[in-house]
Amino acid sequence: MRCTRGRIARTKAGLRRLLLYVIVLVASGTARGQCTNTTAYMTVAAPTTNAPLSISTCTFQSEYNTVTGLVAGATYTVTSSCGGYITVRRGTYNGTLVANGNTPLSFTAPVAGTYFLHFNTNAACGTASNCCTTTITCTSCTGPAPCTAVNIPSLPVTSQAVSCHSSDLINTLNVSSLCGSASTLYLGGVEALYTVTPATTGNYLINYLGQSYSSIWVFSGACPAAGGLCQGSVSGVGTSQSLTITMTAGTTYWILFDTWPSPPSPCPGTFSISTSNVPPPVVASDCNQAVNVCTNINFQIDPNGYGNVNEIPPLGSTGNPDYGLFSFVPPYYNPWGTTNEGCLRAGELNSTWMVVNVLTGGSLTFTFGGLGTQGGFYDWIMYPYNASACTQVAANALAPVRCNWNGVSFGGTGLASTPPAGGDVSNFEPPLNVGSNTQWLICFSNWSSVTTAVPLQFGGTAVVSCSPLPLELIAFEATAQGGRVMLEWTTASEVNSMHFEVERSIDMEEWEKVDVVGAVGTSNLQSGYATTDHAPLPGLSYYRLRIVDLDGSFTFSPVRSVRMMETALVCHPNPTSGSFTVLHVPDGGVIEVLDVLGRSVQVDARPSTGGSMQVQLSLPSPGLFTVRMSNGADVAFTKVLISER
């Protein structure tokens, strides 16, 4: 997607007016409304079904799209999200006029072939540099029903190739039931749809691996485009997604894989479905029935009371403090620094107990009911967990580490430094710093007595998992080298490892994927890996590995920091016969010279005036050498050419 365009500056006002007049004449064609733009953007094959085909998400109203393979006699409709005027030509971009008019524009192709769709702001061929989504629909075509699905005859399935529809048949226009943590933006591409009827009731782990900006959706009762009930979803920018869902024996489920905005479909890709040993929390449970939570889950809630024992202490006590501006007694601020209401003002109401298992320590964040799925007031309280925690809570002897009495009934609730999209600050408390191999007890209260599914999604730097991956990482290093960052790591042994995702961040909160490196799988021998970030971020940045197992579980490596110098070294003279000056070397900077094989060569480097360093090669030989300056985490490079004497 393009965000900016360059502009050509013209200094003579009269010349600018003249050129603009000529450009308008050229763009306007020979008659009003018969526009001919000269800039091409995006080429697609004509749709063969009656589903709308997205041509581009950023066409300017001064460009044309190219559509190949139109069928003679077929009727098509072209649209632009920016409105405006459309001119259709065939043969060449300035060829025979076929149709013109305001969007949406319908026309019948007189002959088969390639057509050119020109977009402008009006019939006078006006232009604008705004991103417009353009589509074409074959209104006379017939196509597969949106609910055309591939049946999965039995479970489990492992690494099955994803089979996609030929066009975007399922999207927010025909899916009425949404749930889970996935964004509806991820319903914008060509999808893959499957049906499965499990023989055994239980929890199933669905893994997808293939394309970026991917999502998994599960529906029951009917196809998602025919009123199916959403059971759960997950999405993300990465190429792998995992979703744990409860499925009932004898019930047909519809599993949807989708992507957006690019690539346009989850194909090619693979998926696996296996039984999961992670049960969802039970409704209206007691603390001693709390279920281990090891990953993102969806669980059901309904108005079933508080189990056999009402264990939450009275409001205003040690185990259930009274915080917020409307509390009856100070302190109005809670210990973690907000004035949100809490804790459980209605006590244990329609409760769900769970234990969150942290494998790797860090900053823990989570959201109950995010991305528009919250169906009522979702209050909660969180305690440190050990074998005696339930007894301590009931005895009013254990203080919470976080709690929230919702201010609003939408947008989700949980731990976050900044509320997610659609969230409200009154529903979120600050992230919790947690140690490795720790557990945390949560009592979730369904105050509104609703019956619905609640997605629980984790974030932050802490890793939630019930068991470590069978992989021993003995080294991981990230170093700046010549404007690039070299990443190297070593494992002592691996069992069923799938791949490593190298991630990068500037703040250790938001991470982006740099590369994916395949793992050896299973080995008792030491294995080495390496990759390069060819476009590192300027200044200080952080790197980590997401280590992914074959079952979709993952953990993170330690974080490594790298600082890229934003200005390169300057050497003078260059070329040189073997003696040169490195300018602007900071105090404590160390100079090293490397040959073409990366080997350090012997030099005499001495401080000079003005923060410079005088360098003399002991045995200069003709060739290209790398000059490296290091100063703590700061590293900078340049090249110097040694010429013959």
Q: What is the mean pLDDT of residues 97-121?
A: 95
Nearest of 361, 372, 362 to residue 235 by alpha carbon:
372
Q: Is the model's pLDDT at 551 over the cut of 80?
A: no
- pLDDT value, residue 218: 92
Please give the C-alpha separations between residue 190 and each of 138, 225, 258, 583, in angstroms, as whole numbers. 16, 14, 7, 55
Cβ atoms within 10 Å, residue 1:
8
Confidence band for 463, pLDDT divided at 50, 70 and 90: confident
Q: What is the mean pLDDT of residues 137-149?
A: 79
- pLDDT value, residue 26: 39
DSSP code of residue 84: -
Q: Is the model's pLDDT at 475 over the cut of 60?
A: yes
- To the nearest whole number, what is the mean pLDDT of the chain? 83
CA distance 360 to 159: 28
Tell me the Cα Rg of the chain.
31
- pLDDT value, residue 526: 81
Q: Which residue has the tokens 């809570």?
A: 393
Q: What is the mean pLDDT of residues 473-501?
A: 84
Q: What is the mean pLDDT of residues 305-314?
A: 88
Would the CA dihedral through 86, 87, 90, 95 be positive or negative? negative
Assess contact for 511 and 492: CB atoms under 8 A: no
Please, what CATH class does the domain formed by 570-642 belong to?
A: mainly beta
Report the helix count and the strand count for the chain, using DSSP H and E: 2, 46
Q: What is the pLDDT of residues 7-48, one digit of tens each?
A: 222 222 333 333 333 343 333 344 557 899 999 988 888 887
Alpha-carbon torsion, ordered 531, 537, 541, 547, to 10 deg: -30
**Which residues have a Cβ under 8 Å from the Cβ of 14 and sit 6 or more positions away?**
none
Assess contact for 151 and 195: CB atoms under 8 A: yes
Q: What is the mean pLDDT of residues 86-105?
A: 95
Q: What is the pLDDT of residues 58-88, one digit of tens each?
A: 889 999 999 999 999 999 999 998 999 999 9
Q: What is the pLDDT of residues 568-578, one digit of tens each?
A: 678 888 889 99
Assess contact for 487 and 502: CB atoms under 8 A: yes
CATH no. for 150-275: 2.60.120
Who wins on pLDDT, 410 or 185?
410
Residues of the chain with CATH 2.60.120: 13-138, 150-275
Residues of the chain with CATH 2.60.40.10: 471-564
Q: Is the model's pLDDT at 474 over the cut of 70?
A: yes
Q: Is the model's pLDDT at 433 over the cut of 90?
A: yes
DSSP code per residue over 192-238: EEEEE--SS-EEEEEEEES-SSEEEEEEESS-GGGTPEEEEEEEESS
Fold adopted by 471-564: Immunoglobulin-like (2.60.40)
Please give the C-alpha separations between residue 483 and each of 307, 505, 634, in angstroms, as whole numbers. 61, 17, 12
Q: Tell me which amino acid residue 23 is.
A: I
- pLDDT value, residue 143: 62
Q: What is the pLDDT of residues 612-643, one digit of tens each?
A: 899 999 988 888 888 878 776 566 777 888 88
Who wins on pLDDT, 357 or 145?
357
Given 1.10.10, 1.10.3470, 3.30.1360, 2.60.120, which CATH number is that of 13-138? 2.60.120
